[in-house]
Amino acid sequence: MEQIQSIKQRFEIIGSNDSLNRSIEKCIQVAPTDISVLITGESGVGKESLPKIIHSLSHRKHAKYIAVNCGAIPEGTIDSELFGHEKGAFTGATQARDGYFQEADGGTIFLDEVGELPLTTQVRLLRVLENGEYIKVGSSQVQKTNVRIVAATNVKMSEAIQKNKFREDLYYRLSTIEISLPPLRERKGDIHLLFRKFAADFAQKYRMPTLRLTEDAVKALENSPWPGNIRQLKNVTEQVSILEQKREVDRSALLPYLPKSSNLPSVVGSTESSSSDFANEREILYKVLFDMKNDLNDLKKLTLELLKNGKASVQDEQKNLIDKIYGKDPEDFETEEDFEEQLEILQIPEKSQVTKEVAPKVDYDFAEEIEEEETLSLHDKEIELIKKSLERNQGKRKPAARELGISERTLYRKIKQYDL
């Protein structure tokens, strides 16, 4: 336990959480060996401190320690950065360059965010782990290196392997020993200690009195979710230190700086949140009603076009509109009855009631009347038209159907439907 405390003081690690202590203890145990280590944990938990501990307690402590952020190097240059390249290997390679593995020979290399490595680079890294061999970009000569590899990631490796974003064999070689750091929300007893440390550092940096929290502010600080972990806590501490005039900060002054979480009950601004939710729902409702109105206008337009221009021209000119309303292209209808059934949904005849051939025989300019009086009921107008056609033809259905441009069967059905 004394060794763990001395390590914490040396590397400025704050906290007494059991999981944190266990992680440091693992580092002390594996340091004398050359076993590769994988450090896991969420972003911002302080994973970069553990490789330094491992290196400083190993027999490689007098050799180089190189930390590489794999996620910050572009995919096209990552191989060159890690393994080096020969002159002329690619455009811009005006001279040969040694990679990190050659520079860190005999020491330790820390691969941060190793889960971001491209698959081609993972193959090269696997070879280094297996036999210490690598090849420079643009070279055919195999070179040897003797490095201790410590990697870290905030990616769930099991999911990355299932999605074929990370090689399973490389994962097993990297994670000979796996050390996990707990997130800050699981270290509630350490949160205030870290805040005080950061507050003291910023007070010295900005030459101002040290910030202090009231008891209720400390509870609010410890009960926050901290998705960004220690990095986020440090950022919040700096904001409060600079922006707050009073050096004793209470709960009400601290809350605006704390991270919000949908899983936690809202303490401040709950009324505003409810009002905002209601406003969003009302906006969505207005949009739905507006879309329904547009659909109704489109339906009216299609109905008028059907009555005026006939089936063929409507299919050509209003294809998109028909697809929108019916969900089926009229050209795909197998028979004319299929098209007639769709038109009967609107309670209109199967064919245009006024075509170029029929128009001279009919004295009722139905389309023009509908266009002039859009509010007139289509149902009533259809009944009126059928009645007049039957009267003109002395009640004979066949000539009346021919004059109306519909089949005798359809006319019979409508006579029965309207009780004419």
Grouping H, G, I as helix, E, B as strand and the rest as coil, residue 152 is strand
The whole-angstrom separation of Cα 383 and Cα 415 is: 9
Vertex 167 angle, CA 164 and 172, to 5°: 135
pLDDT band at 72 (very low <50, low <70, confident <90, very high): very high
Say if 241 falls within a structural domain: yes
- What is the pLDDT, as a whole number, of residue 54? 97
Please state the pTM of the whole predicted model: 0.61
Say if 333 falls within a structural domain: yes
pLDDT band at 313 (very low <50, low <70, confident <90, very high): low
134 vs 398, higher pLDDT: 134
Q: Mark whether 211 and 287 lie in a shared domain.
A: no
- What is the pLDDT, as a whole number, of residue 312? 56
Q: Mark whether 106 and 143 lie in a shared domain.
A: yes
Say if 277 falls within a structural domain: no
Tens digit of each residue's pLDDT (9 = 90 or more) over 250-264: 999 999 999 876 443
Q: Mark whether 293 and 407 lie in a shared domain.
A: yes
Q: Mark whether 77 and 121 lie in a shared domain.
A: yes
Q: Mark whether 50 and 141 lie in a shared domain.
A: yes
Provide the number of structural domains found in the chain: 3
Vertex 243 angle, CA 242 and 247, to 5°: 75
Say if 276 falls within a structural domain: no
Q: Domain range holding 63?
A: 2-182
pLDDT of 2 strictly over 90 = no
- What is the pLDDT, as a whole number, of residue 93? 86
Say if 102 falls within a structural domain: yes
- What is the pLDDT, as a whole number, of residue 369? 47
Identify which of 178, 156, 158 has the alpha carbon closest to the alpha carbon of residue 23.
178
Tens digit of each residue's pLDDT (9 = 90 or more) over 292-306: 777 777 776 767 666
Q: Mark whether 157 and 17 lie in a shared domain.
A: yes
DSSP state letter for 209: P
- What is the pLDDT, as a whole number, of residue 300? 66
| Mean of the per-residue pLDDT values of the chain | 82
- What is the pLDDT, as a whole number, of residue 384? 82
pLDDT of 174 strictly over 50 = yes
- Domain's final residue, options 182, 204, 224: 182
- The CATH number of the domain holding residue 219 is 1.10.8.60
Say if 10 falls within a structural domain: yes
